[in-house]
Structure 1
Amino acid sequence: MGSNDDLGKIFRAARQALDLTQGEVGREVGYSASAISRIERNRMRIDLDTRLRLARVLHIPAERVSGFPAPAGPVIDTVGNVPMPDEEDAMRRRTTLLGALAAGASAVISTGTAEALPVLDLDDALFRLPNTGPAPLRTLASATAAARETFTAARYSDLSHALPSLLAAAEATRDATAGQARQQANGILARAYVLAAELAAKQHSDTAWVAADRALVAARASGMPIPIGEASRVLAITMRRSGRCASAVRLLTHEAAQLDPADLRAGAVRTTLLLTAAYSAAAGHDRATALALLDEADESVERRAHAAPDGLFTVEATKTQVDVYRIGVHNTLGTPDEAVELARGLNIGLMATAERRARAWTDTARMWHALGKGQQTFAALRRVEREAAQEARRPALRALTANLLYGPTRLPGLKEFAVRTGAVSA
């Protein structure tokens, strides 16, 4: 049996593979989100009964967690002194967004040697922007479009290096302009912060909250529907990941209702908001709402061929994209069997960007993994790496890879893949 340090990693990897938040796991076993965090970091003692309850919730074989010794040394936290859900909610209401983030953004935890997917540095990118003067709006728009292309090509390391200067220039330009030029600068600034939020969300970093909030403030100041839709979408994703699924659905459906479906670009934005709302509803275990929103998105793309709303939006409004979201929704609802035929008929190669193709293969991998199909899961994971190597190094993908590696099926090449992507050490 491995060391005690391995126990927390087992729980964390399984939770991330199922795309559950610490709060969602905590509610199933009667603990707070902070207690689950401490368990995953091996900072709280838990007895065998608690281990087995966690194992059932996270679909871990009981024998993998039953034989670990109790932690040695002093107790850092126990169940008795960890805030339970009601107390924790009250504490959260008393904590400002920026104060919570100042306590420290989520770190990337890797047991491997491969280069980790970069997290946008909180201080440099959001609180200590470089000293940069204003730029011509056309130059700034071109730079933001180039950053978007870097994101959709899944070159996240390049994007993490470019964003601080882009954000600083966009802030300076907004502050130095007035009237219509200021509105345009706010629209560009909103899109730059959307990219920062999307990059942070790739790592499940709390930095996404700050970036998404700033994106929506700038987007509303611009008065432009498409930036507002982009910013609302990334803010809703951060809400969903913190357990506020119903609030995310309300935000997205409200913003979708403000858009004219008869307008090609606005209709495409509306479709992407409906898709994200469907996934958020599924994460909140609201099957009826999730499927209804998917059907509405389906009808939207069938009425007319939707292109991307413009050159800066990162999500497509196409039939293939709707089908990918439907697979993800069924995975989240715990009904992956209902997505098998859809996945088999899916032509992921039709998707326009490497980032979207990699995400489609990710949802396919999760579907096969939930169905216990190790060989198909590994095949899908290899397609993720082929489309976008840095996607395969995301925390959720490394957790899924590690879970597959320690599963019952021995797959040739899986250990090498796990080492290469940083899921395990060599």
Structure 2
Amino acid sequence: MRSLIDAGNVGEVIRLARERRGWRQADLGRAACYSAATISRLEQGKTGLHVAKIRAVAEAIEMPPALLAAALLGVSPRPKVTVDTTVAPVVQEDPMRRRSLLAAGLAAVPVAALTRLDDALALTPDAAGPITREQLATRLRRFRTLFDSGALRELVTGLPALLADAHQAAGDAPDEPDTWVLVAGVYDLAADALNKVGAREQSRITADRAVLYAERSEDPVAQAAAARSLGIVLRHEGRQVVAQHVTLRAVEQLERTGLTTPAQAAAYAQTLCTTGYNAALANRRADALEMMAEARKAATRLPARMPAAPTPDAPFRITPAQIELYRVGVYWGLGDAGAAIAAGERLRPEQFDTVERRARLHTDMARALVQRGWAEQAIARLLEAHQQAPSEVRDRTSIRNVAVQLVQQHRRVPGARELAAVL
């Protein structure tokens, strides 16, 4: 098995695991919902590296995720280091093994849930029954609450059914703009959640569809929300300049409305923040700081009290405190850790109305502290984030990577053992 992994021979690893279980190719095919011929081609390496298919087959055969990840990366799991036995086991694992597990996308959401979502994106499942626009709006609000509370696994698991309901509602009222606003909102939420858990391919598909349906609605707020989702996905693809242009176009479109409603004003401020962050990661300092300065001005147009929960026609609830939190991320993206820390020092968790945002305060500050080289303070922030919303540390791929590197490189720093234990 070690030699097959080192050779990156995923097909033979699956064959060996199947035979060890005493299954025929037909048995594995039935368990994974594929034909025996497909299993044969997979084992012979004739299907290419189709990760979703490999994950489904590996789950059916109950292959340990670390073993599959190692095979995909061509790296054998190494023996655990035993020099420091006071550190939690996750710290003692080989760093490449940990990174390969994360790279394979197996750390956050069950493989079966992502496989079902892949199927739903290829062929939208049938809804459980007729659904009105009002019922879909209620379901979308409930799923948004899951996002705000950090329940990412539950959210992703339920996405296929939510997508089915959205398309059912659209089929019943295909020419009503309000319906397309709802459908776009469903895909916005899907893109945001999938992006957080590192499902990059699926997040790009859902973001593209959000843009398509938002354009069909002709609603500038819905179009801004979709542009923001797509910009985030593009940013994570390493296309920061394109991401900046996508969201900047949405800013300009919102300006043309005159910002006459609270929903438009909130969308404008939110999109400015996203554009500024995209510009920072594209190393366009002047653009980034200009966008954030404009966002601060836009905050004066926001209503004194934001809605208790987002609605399809008013998806943004940005506040002055959230704009300041974006400034932390912008300065971090520009490599200015000192300015990022200074921008966040006056912010407090109670200024944010969702656990996702409260945890985000701590994770953004943790990244800035790591950039500054202050490991102990960064670990403390990540532990605070985990206390607020465990999934923001455990399931959000980029932050989990930061946490893993911290506990691997600073094992004896106070808090490292506790952080390792929650990963």
Q: TM-score, normalised by structure 1?
A: 0.69
Match of 2:344 in 1: 343
Match of 2:318 in 1: 317
Candidates 157, 162, 167, aligned match of 2:158: 162
Counterparts of 2:360 and 2:157 in 1: how far apart (Å)?
23
Match of 1:140 in 2: 136
Deviations 1:167-215, CA, capped at 9 Å, x for gaps: 11111221232433xx222111111111110111002222110000011
Match of 1:400 in 2: 402
Match of 2:50 in 1: none
Match of 2:203 in 1: 208
- For 2:218, give the aligned amino acid: G
Match of 1:294 in 2: 292
Counterparts of 1:207 and 1:174 in 2: how far apart (Å)?
21
- For 2:400, give the aligned amino acid: R
Cα-Cα RMSD: 2.9
Match of 1:417 in 2: 419
Aligned structure 1 segments of 4 or more residues deviating by more than 6 angstroms: 38-41
- For 2:408, give the aligned amino acid: Y
Q: Give the 3-state SS of the residue equivalent to 1:406 in structure 2.
A: helix
Q: Give the 3-state SS of the residue equivalent to 1:193 in structure 2.
A: helix
Counterparts of 1:311 and 1:178 in 2: how far apart (Å)?
20
Match of 1:131 in 2: 126
Q: Which has the higher helix share?
A: 2
Match of 1:108 in 2: 105
Match of 2:183 in 1: 189
Q: Give the 3-state SS of the residue equivalent to 1:131 in structure 2.
A: coil
Decide whether aligned partners of structure 1 residues 360 and 40 sit closer, same or farther in structure 2, where only a CA change above 3 A counts. farther
Match of 1:367 in 2: 368
Counterparts of 1:128 and 1:303 in 2: how far apart (Å)?
43
User: Does structure 2 retain, via aligned residues, the 8 Å contact 1:330–1:339?
Assistant: yes
- For 2:376, give the aligned amino acid: Q
Counterparts of 1:294 and 1:253 in 2: how far apart (Å)?
13
Counterparts of 1:106 and 1:173 in 2: how far apart (Å)?
36
Decide whether aligned partners of structure 1 residues 302 and 177 sit closer, same or farther in structure 2, where only a CA change above 3 A counts. closer
Is 1:177 the counterpart of 2:173 in the alignment? Answer: yes
User: Does structure 1 retain, via aligned residues, the 8 Å contact 2:109–2:156?
Assistant: no
- For 1:216, give the aligned amino acid: V
Q: Give the 3-state SS of the residue equivalent to 1:258 in structure 2.
A: helix
Deviations 1:388-408, CA, capped at 9 Å, x for gaps: 111111222221112111224
Deviation at 1:316, TM superposition (A): 3.6
For 1:49-64, what aligned pairs fall within 5 Å after superposition? none
User: Does structure 1 retain, via aligned residues, the 8 Å contact 2:194–2:202?
Assistant: yes
- For 1:107, give the aligned amino acid: A
Indicate the larger mover: 304-313 or 289-298.
304-313
Counterparts of 2:114 and 2:422 in 1: how far apart (Å)?
22
Deviation at 1:363, TM superposition (A): 0.4
Decide whether aligned partners of structure 1 residues 284 and 199 sit closer, same or farther in structure 2, where only a CA change above 3 A counts. same
Where relative contact order (Cα < 8 A, 6+ residues apart) is larger, the structure is: 1
- For 1:404, give the aligned amino acid: L
Is 1:258 the counterpart of 2:253 in the alignment? Answer: yes
Match of 1:91 in 2: none
- For 1:402, give the aligned amino acid: V
Q: TM-score, normalised by structure 2?
A: 0.70
Q: Which blocks of at least 5 consecutive residues in structure 1 are unaligned?
A: 7-37, 45-63, 69-104, 111-115, 422-426
Indicate the larger mover: 150-159 or 269-278.
150-159
Identity over aligned pairs, percent: 30
Number of residue-to-residue matches in the alignment: 322
Q: Give the 3-state SS of the residue equivalent to 1:356 in structure 2.
A: helix
- For 1:414, give the aligned amino acid: A
Q: Which blocks of at least 5 consecutive residues in structure 2 are unaligned?
A: 7-68, 76-93, 97-101
User: Does structure 1 retain, via aligned residues, the 8 Å contact 2:338–2:372?
Assistant: yes
Q: Give the 3-state SS of the residue equivalent to 2:223 in structure 1.
A: helix
Q: Give the 3-state SS of the residue equivalent to 2:409 in structure 1.
A: coil
Decide whether aligned partners of structure 1 residues 178 and 384 sit closer, same or farther in structure 2, where only a CA change above 3 A counts. same
